[in-house]
DNA sequence: GTCTATAGAGTGATAGAC
DNA sequence: GTCTATCACTCTATAGAC
């Protein structure tokens, strides 16, 4: 019997719960027992919803994350009417998504830990899309392409580093300060090298 | 029979090999089979050298990393005769240590992945020592304490983020560019807010 | 004999797959 | 629930140095 009071029966509703387990324990640490405990489902139910097992659960989680970022972050950066608004929206959404530094980036975790190269392409495109979308917004707001590419790379890396340091020091404010600094730089220095 | 041609017999010489396995697979992914294969040693030998098993191996690896950084990075930052030279030395050593972005930071990995909170204090003090040492060097080279603290936090986080992004994009140059940018900023702007 | 380092069979527990 | 594989780990046996 699972410890949760009720089980989640819809596959879509299950994804965020599975995501949290993968985020906190990594792929190898996310055992079926933990995944079952978190969802309140037995192994049979999990395999009914995800016939390919843990691999499929993880793929679904990564796809869900990618969907969210495409919709809420990358697309506004690329195609929004106001690039500066898109950038401000990115900072706001990212701060909310990572709970101001209390939540870690699953894609960042998978970037660091080799899981038999299974999710390497998902990890690659997540970060490639993010940097390209931010670069596009920066170009549209007046940066030279080379500057925009460099800045985009630096901001995306800084966010990941902020999450690492916030978690390491158990101080979520580290992440928030990182966001604030870069938001101010991108806003106040639209065309000079920072 | 192990696949390696010869076994490593000294505990000290074993540490870097064990470290690489933990770095690439994480704590849970670093099975004794993998550790044995990498070292060319059987379980008996590993348990002879590390009676408490995987936990002790990992603790020894983290202690070895901490020793190296204390000696080669933190101490020159804190106590070196020239703080600017200490900072330049940090950038050079860090670039070499992480093989210009081809190697990942084990402490950063452990910061992101919850391993039953076993190594949380090691992770915490590694990053706390690093930021404090860098802050001290920045103060000694003319920054106000508040500026120095902020900058130190940002540079350490940026390095971690550079490693994450370099690994994610499979492009070590991302990490090198991160180092270069911050080295130039710390060198050319000794007392203004960056 | 003692000591140190080695390998590896064998332990129960738990993994993921079905 | 049941399966097999693998987990971390224990234990015995063995080797050579002294």
Residues B94-121 have pLDDT tens digits of 999 999 999 999 999 999 998 878 999 9
Burial (CB < 10 A; 0-12, 13-18, 19+), residue A20, is middle
With a 7 Å cutoff on the CB, does B54 touch strand D?
yes
> What pLDDT, on the 0 to 100 scale, is given for residue A114?
79
C-alpha–C-alpha distance, residues B58 and B64, integer Å: 10
B 79-108 near A (Cβ less than 8 A): 104-105, 107-108
Q: How many CB pairs under 8 A join A and B?
A: 135
For residues B51 and B57, the answer to whether their CB atoms sit within 8 Å is no
What was the pLDDT predicted at A38? 94
Q: Is B125 exposed, middle or buried (0-12, 13-18, 19+ CB in 10 A)?
A: middle
With beta carbons less than 8 A apart as the criterion, state whether B39 and B17 touch. Answer: yes
Whether residue B160 lies within 8 A of chain A, CB to CB, comes out as yes
> Would the pLDDT of A164 be above 50?
yes
Instruction: Specify the pLDDT at position B7.
Output: 52
Task: Please determine, for residue A190, whether its predicted confidence score (pLDDT) is greater than 60.
Answer: no
Q: Which tens digits make up the pLDDT trace of B120-139?
A: 999 999 999 999 999 999 99
CA distance A79 to A85: 11
Q: Which token pair is B186?
A: 């710390």
What is the arithmetic mean of pLDDT over B45-70? 97
Contact between chains at A170 and B124 (C-beta distance less than 8 A): yes
What residue has its CA nearest to the C1' of D9? B53
> Is A38 in CB contact (< 8 Å) with chain B?
no
Work out the number of other CB atoms within 10 angstroms of the CB of residue B170. 12
Which SS3 state, helix, strand or coil, does residue A176 take? Answer: helix
User: Which one, of A65, A123, A127, lies nearest residue A93 by Cα?
Assistant: A65
The model's pTM? 0.92
How far does A38 lie from chain B, in Å, by closest CA? 16
Task: Report yes or no: A162 and B111 within 8 Å, Cβ to Cβ.
Answer: no
C1' (D14) to CA (B103) span, angstroms: 40
Lowest mean pLDDT among A5-9, B53-57, B179-183: A5-9
Find, in chain A, the residue whose alpha carbon is nearest to that of B110.
A168
Model pLDDT, residue A189: 59
């Amino acid at each position: 019997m699972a410890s949760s009071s009720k089980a989640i029966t819809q596959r879509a509703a299950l994804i965020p719960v599975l995501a949290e387990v993968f985020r906190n324990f990594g792929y190898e640490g996310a055992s079926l027992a933990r995944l079952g405990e978190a969802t309140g489902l037995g192994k049979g139910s999990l395999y009914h919803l995800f016939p390919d097992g843990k691999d499929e659960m993880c793929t679904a989680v990564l796809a869900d994350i990618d969907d969210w970022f495409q919709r809420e972050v990358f697309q506004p950066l690329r195609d929004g009417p106001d690039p500066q608004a898109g950038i401000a929206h990115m900072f706001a959404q990212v701060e909310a998504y990572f709970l101001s530094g209390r939540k870690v980036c699953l894609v960042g975790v998978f970037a660091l830990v080799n899981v038999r190269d299974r999710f390497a392409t998902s990890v690659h495109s997540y970060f490639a899309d993010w940097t390209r979308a931010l670069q596009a917004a920066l170009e549209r707001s007046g940066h030279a392409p080379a500057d925009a590419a460099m800045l985009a790379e630096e901001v995306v890396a800084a966010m990941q580093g902020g999450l690492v340091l916030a978690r390491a020091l158990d101080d979520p404010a580290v992440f928030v300060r990182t966001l604030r600094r870069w938001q101010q730089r991108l806003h106040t220095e639209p065309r000079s090298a920072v």
